[in-house]
């Protein structure tokens, strides 16, 4: 009992330390970048008196530790400041755009895991055969091809030339505003509202960017799955299982695969966190109105409140996902408890 409490306290301390480190980094970025937050707020045509007034209102005349304390206090109250682009609170902007990114990254992860894990397992089982070589080539191409380049090619071929996919955005213009549900996910909300035309439009727009991100995730997950499975297939218990006359299917999926589930859960969580970052490029290419496009616009216009809020949100979500995966694999594998 005492050992369990100690582990929980240690995990909690690690999470707090990580969050504090993330806050320090984002605060330092906001103060070290060459962009002037006052100029970004009032423009470069304002007079000196206005500049000095806004400078004091932002608290930039205070000592750096006082500024950091104010920053911490605001973040605790989920106050990320005001966006200089939209003139809205950054927290409300993030609540508006983040569901689109979650929707895209989640579907891409499902595609990557659904195809990448079986491909890696089969490549390991058939090591050295044409199946293995094909799987490794597919994984290598996906791992080394820049997603923004692949996205551009997909738009040029399948939109500009053949017209098979929509040009960009999240939904057709004539379907906008028909579904406004509680989740922010057009797929989930359209199913709840039974708006099947909206659902089809949302899936049609989501397919291309999700497949591209899913292919990148598949490449990573297939390589890791193959590596994990090869290690297990060399273990003595596998030889024992085969000596007992168990079928290949039973040996691979009931014995070897069960022992790599914890490792796979970890890499899938890492892949999901990576896709949250990777959407910055693919959302820009496909004009996807998510966090990536919002962050890109904020960077172009030196809107540091929006930049820091976006970075901090991605960091906190990544910490939460890793914590959740840690909790889940404690239930999957009793040896980790």
**Residue 144's domain is classified under what CATH number?**
1.10.3720.10
* Average pLDDT of the segment spanning 80-106: 88
Cβ pair 265, 325 in contact under 8 A:
yes
Establish if 85 belongs to a structural domain: no
Q: 76, 106, 138: which is the final residue of a domain? A: 76
Mean pLDDT of the chain: 84
Helices 304-332 and 2-32 meet at what angle, rounded to 10? 160
At 5 the pLDDT is 64
Specify the number of domains making up the chain.
Answer: 2
317 and 277 in a common domain = yes
97 inside domain: yes
Has residue 289 got a pLDDT over 70? yes
Same domain, 191 and 54: no
- Residue ranges of alpha helices (H) inside the chain are 2-32, 37-42, 48-57, 64-76, 90-125, 130-144, 147-154, 186-193, 196-233, 236-243, 248-249, 261-285, 291-300, 304-332
62 and 209 both lie in a single domain? no
Residues β-bridged to residue 82: 89
Residue 303 near residue 81, CB atoms below 8 Å: no
The answer, yes or no, to whether residue 4 has pLDDT greater than 90, is no
Same structural domain, 100 and 54: no
Residues 45 and 124 in one domain: no
Evaluate whether 232 touches 256 at the Cβ level (below 8 Å).
Answer: yes
Most confident of 2-11, 33-42, 51-60: 51-60
Same domain for 168 and 223, yes or no, is: yes
Lowest mean pLDDT among 8-12, 210-214, 307-311: 8-12
Confidence of residue 81 (pLDDT cuts 50, 70, 90): confident
Are 170 and 278 in the same domain? yes
| Nearest Cα to Cα of residue 95 among 80, 73, 105 | 80
Does 44 share its domain with 102?
no
Using one digit for the tens of pLDDT, what is the confidence trace for 245-261?
A: 888 888 888 888 888 88
Picking from 76, 102, 137, the residue at the C-terminal end of a domain is 76
Q: Which pLDDT value is given to residue 111?
A: 94
Q: Are residues 179 and 303 in the same domain?
A: yes
Cα–Cα distance, 247 to 230 (Å, whole number): 18
SS3 79: coil
Residues 58, 122 share a domain: no
Give the up-direction half-sphere exposure of residue 323: CA atoms within 13 A in the CB hemisphere: 16
Residue 162 scores a pLDDT above 90: no
| Contact indicator for 265, 273 with CB cutoff of 8 Å | no
Residue-wise pLDDT for 187-218, tens only, equals: 888 888 888 888 898 899 999 999 999 999 99
- pLDDT, residue 226, reads 92
Check residue 303 and give its pLDDT: 81
Residue range of the domain that includes 211: 93-336
**Same domain flag for 133 and 7:** no
pLDDT of 209: 92
Between the ranges 84-88, 105-109, 190-194, where is the mean pLDDT highest? 105-109
| pLDDT, position 335 | 62
Percent above pLDDT 70 for the chain: 96
- If asked whether residues 239 and 135 sit together in one domain, one would say yes
Number of C-beta neighbours around residue 200 at 10 A: 13
Domain boundary among 76, 102, 120: 76
Nearest to 175 by CA among 152, 154, 144, 200: 200
Q: What is the pLDDT of residues 138-147, one digit of tens each?
A: 888 888 888 8
């Amino acid at each position: 009992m005492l050992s369990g409490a100690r582990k929980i306290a240690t995990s909690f301390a690690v999470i707090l330390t990580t969050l504090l480190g993330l806050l320090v980094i984002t605060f330092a970025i906001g103060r070290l970048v060459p962009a002037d937050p006052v100029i970004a707020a009032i423009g470069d045509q304002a007079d000196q008196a206005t500049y000095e007034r806004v400078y004091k209102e932002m608290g930039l005349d205070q000592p750096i530790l006082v500024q950091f304390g104010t920053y911490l206090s605001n973040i605790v109250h989920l106050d990320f400041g005001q966006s200089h682009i939209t003139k809205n609170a950054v927290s409300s902007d993030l609540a508006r755009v983040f569901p689109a990114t979650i929707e895209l990254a989640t579907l891409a992860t499902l595609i990557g895991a659904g195809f990448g894990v079986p491909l890696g397992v089969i490549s390991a089982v058939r090591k050295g055969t044409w199946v293995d070589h094909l799987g490794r080539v597919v994984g290598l191409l996906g791992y080394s091809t820049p997603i923004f380049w692949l996205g551009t090619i997909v738009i040029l071929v399948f939109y500009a030339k053949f017209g098979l996919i929509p040009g960009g955005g999240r939904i057709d213009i004539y379907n906008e505003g028909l579904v406004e549900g509680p989740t922010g996910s057009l797929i989930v909300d359209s199913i709840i509202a039974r708006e099947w035309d909206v659902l089809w439009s949302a899936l049609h727009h989501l397919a291309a960017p999700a497949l591209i991100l899913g292919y990148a995730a598949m490449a990573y997950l297939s390589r890791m799955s193959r590596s994990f499975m090869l290690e297990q297939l060399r273990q003595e218990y596998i030889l024992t299982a085969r000596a007992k006359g168990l079928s290949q299917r039973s040996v691979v999926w009931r014995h070897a695969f069960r022992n790599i589930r914890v490792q796979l859960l970890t890499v899938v969580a890492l892949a999901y966190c990576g896709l949250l970052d990777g959407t910055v490029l693919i959302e820009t290419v496909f004009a996807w109105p998510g966090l990536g496009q919002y962050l890109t616009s904020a960077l172009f216009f030196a809107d540091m409140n929006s930049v820091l809020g976006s970075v901090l949100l991605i960091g906190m979500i990544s910490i939460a996902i890793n914590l959740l995966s840690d909790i889940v694999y404690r239930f999957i594998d009793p040896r980790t408890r």
